[in-house]
């Protein structure tokens, strides 16, 4: 009899932290199901993903630890999914600690430590800073080029 694990997430800008989390989840059982937040659900949460749901679902499904991917459309579906898929373990990152304890009535609920020093939010912040600093640098270079051109024309 298979031990079924379920988890949920946005999985935007898929990175090593995601891979390590999915590996640890798969190590808990035999069959890993992942609910990937739909674009509409992300909008309700005030989030905007770089990649579309279809792209994120394709990326997550390509991970060797994942057996099934489906859309997460709302907060309420977790209980229904746990029952529908006959889940043994519901698992999330420990930043959600305690939030899904109500599911203990249907399965074991586990909160796993996140991978240190990496998160999609941090990656997006870093990319944003790089873009801003690059734009300032390019602007300064353009001003320098313009000054050189003016000097050459004089």
pLDDT digits (tens, 9 = 90+) for 106-143: 999 999 987 666 555 555 455 555 566 666 776 777 77
pLDDT exceeds cutoff 70 at 6: yes
Query: pTM value?
Result: 0.75
- List residues bridging with 6 in a β-sheet: 33, 90
Whether 47 is a known active-site residue: answer yes
Using only C-alpha atoms, what is the Rg of the chain? 22
pLDDT digits (tens, 9 = 90+) for 60-101: 999 999 999 999 999 999 999 999 999 999 999 888 999 999
Distances (CA, A) of 22 to 8, 69, 114: 11, 12, 11
* Catalytic residue chosen out of the listed positions 2, 3, 23, 45: 45
Helix (H, G, I), strand (E, B) or coil at 2: coil
The matching CATH number, chosen from 3.30.300.30, 3.40.50.720, 3.40.640.10, 3.40.50.620, for 4-112 is 3.40.50.620
CB neighbour list of residue 61: distance below 8 Å, 6 or more residues apart: 69
Give 71 or 11, the one with higher predicted confidence.
71
pLDDT exceeds cutoff 80 at 41: yes
Distance CA 17, CA 36 (A): 16
What pLDDT, on a 0 to 100 scale, did the predictor assign at position 56? 92
Confidence of residue 57 (pLDDT cuts 50, 70, 90): very high
Whether 150 is a known active-site residue: answer no
* Catalytic residue chosen out of the listed positions 26, 47, 79, 124: 47
**At which residue do the structure tokens 């991970």 appear?**
63
């Amino acid at each position: 009899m298979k031990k079924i694990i379920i988890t949920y997430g946005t999985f935007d800008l898929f990175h090593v932290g995601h891979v390590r989390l999915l590996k640890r989840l798969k190590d808990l059982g035999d069959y890993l199901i992942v609910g990937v937040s739909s674009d509409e659900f992300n909008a309700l949460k005030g989030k905007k993903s770089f990649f579309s749901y279809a792209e994120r679902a394709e990326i997550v499904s390509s991970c060797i630890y994942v057996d099934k991917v489906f859309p997460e459309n709302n907060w309420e579906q977790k209980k229904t999914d746990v029952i529908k898929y006959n889940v043994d373990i519901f698992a999330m990152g420990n930043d959600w600690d305690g939030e899904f304890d109500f599911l203990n009535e249907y399965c074991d609920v586990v909160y796993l430590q996140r991978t240190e020093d990496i998160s999609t939010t941090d990656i997006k912040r870093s990319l944003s800073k790089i873009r801003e600093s690059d734009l300032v640098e390019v602007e300064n270079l353009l001003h320098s080029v313009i000054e050189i051109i003016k000097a050459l024309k004089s």
